Structures are given as C-alpha cells and as structure tokens.
Amino acid sequence: MTVLLFDIDNTLLDFDKAEYDALGKIFTHYQIEDNQENRATYSRENKALWRLHESEKLSREELLSTRFDHAFRALNVSVNYNPVAVDDEYQLYLSQGHELINHAKELLTELSEKEAEMYVVSNGTSRVSRPRIFESGISDHFREIFISEEVGHHKPSLAFFDYVFDHIEAANQKEFTIVGDSLATDILGGNRAGIKTIWYNPKQLEVSGEAQPDVQIQDLLEIPALVKNW
C-alpha cells in the first residue's frame, strides 16, 4: 500500500496569499509603507533565518522571537515595538489564511474515495497550521497531522521522518511517498528517508541542490495516476 505524506504550505494551502495578507496587516499596524521593496526586505530577513533553522543552526524559538526585529531594523522602523508581540500578532493573522491551492480539494476527495492513506507532514507551527488545515475543510482526509513543532524535529531531518514512521501502524509494511513544493525540505527529506518523492512544481523551476525528486508535477490532479502506476 502506498501511503501519501502531504506537505501543507504551498502544496495544499496557499501560504503565499496567507503571508501576503498577514504581512499587510502588520505593515499597516506598525506604520510601514506596504510596497514591493519593503515586502522583499522582510522576505529576505525571514528566509535567511529559516535557512539557519533548517540547517539546525537556529532554534525555532529564536527564529520566531527575532525575525521581526531583524526585519524591522532592516526597514528602519521608528515606532516602538516588541518583536515577540509582533510575531504573535503575525501568526494570528497567518492562522486565518486557509485558501486552497488549485485542485487540492478535488485531489483529496478523489484519493479518499479510493481509500488512500494520507497524512500531513508540515514544518509549520501548531498555532498557525492546525487552524488553517481545519478551517480549509480538508482535515477529515488525513489520518494524522504531524507538525514539526510538536514532533520536536523538522523536515528534512531523518529524525522527523523516523517519528512519523514510528507513529503509523504497520509502517514497515507500506510504501511511502511525500508530496511537497520544497526541494530543500520535502524532497530532500524524502530522499534521506528513502521514500518516493513527488515535487509539486507549478512554476517549473529547475532542480537545484542535492535533492532529487522522483517525479515533478505541475497540477495536483496528476497524483492519482502516479500512485496507481506505483
């Protein structure tokens, strides 16, 4: 039996839109001009910290408590702020964004009708990821939701996948496939765990780094045929 492990952000749920809306509210609150340049500055600072976290050089707590301090300093924000409070506010806004990626609902419905065994594997935080999954209406399709903050490890670490396998009944009798949009976390993690990988790549980006996807897709509805052939 093939078991599908689904990433959430930008695989099933539109994280980019949720982030765009949440950041816009933060900019308004802290009197920051909402333009492309300032958004790019925040994105640069945030991604740099996430890369450190994914390489295990920075804890999640340090990342969340400092990312707005890094960003606001780079943006020369002059109003008084508490970076931890800003992040709390931002995560609240993020948790309210649950728009689905194109064809995500149809895909999950089709796979559920075929009695596919599906799980969520996310690098998100509990306070953001769980509300988005439940409010989007897709939670019933999954047998369990694995979130890195709760697991204590994150993709692409093998420890994260070992935890997932340990918590799935008769895992050693099943074949696993991970579906995700990130080469650095989903696909590389799948490679390290020795499972099949499907890279959701609607923008048709080039493969880079050490991750090697087994299959690339541009539309989620390509997945049922792949699973059937496997």
**DSSP string of 40-102?**
HHHHHHHHHHHHHHHTTSS-HHHHHHHHHHHHHHHTT--S---HHHHHHHHHHHHHT--PBPT
What is the pLDDT at residue 55?
Answer: 80
Q: pLDDT tens digits, residue range 163-204? A: 999 999 999 989 999 999 999 999 999 999 999 999 999 999
Q: Tokens representing 102?
A: 């194109």
The residues of the chain that CATH labels 3.40.50.1000 are 2-14+99-229
CATH architecture of 2-14+99-229: 3-Layer(aba) Sandwich (3.40)
How many other C-beta atoms can be found within 10 angstroms of the C-beta atom of residue 219?
11
- CB of 45 closer than 8 Å to CB of 67: yes
Is residue 134 within 8 Å of 97, Cβ to Cβ?
A: no
Identity (one letter) of the amino acid at 97?
Answer: G
Give the residue numbers marked as catalytic.
7, 9
Q: How far is CA 213 from CA 111, 116, 191, in A?
A: 21, 21, 8
3-state SS, residue 112:
helix
CATH number of this structure's domain 16-95: 1.10.150.240
Length of the chain: 230
Asked whether residue 230 carries a pLDDT value surpassing 80, the answer given is no
Q: Which pTM was predicted?
A: 0.92
Q: 18 versus 230: which is more confidently predicted?
A: 18
In the chain, list all ranges with CATH 1.10.150.240: 16-95
Mean pLDDT of 64-92: 95
SS3 176: strand
- Percent of the chain exceeding pLDDT 90 equals 89
Which pLDDT does position 60 carry in this prediction? 84
151 φψ region: left (φ > 0), alpha (ψ -120 to 50), beta (else) = alpha
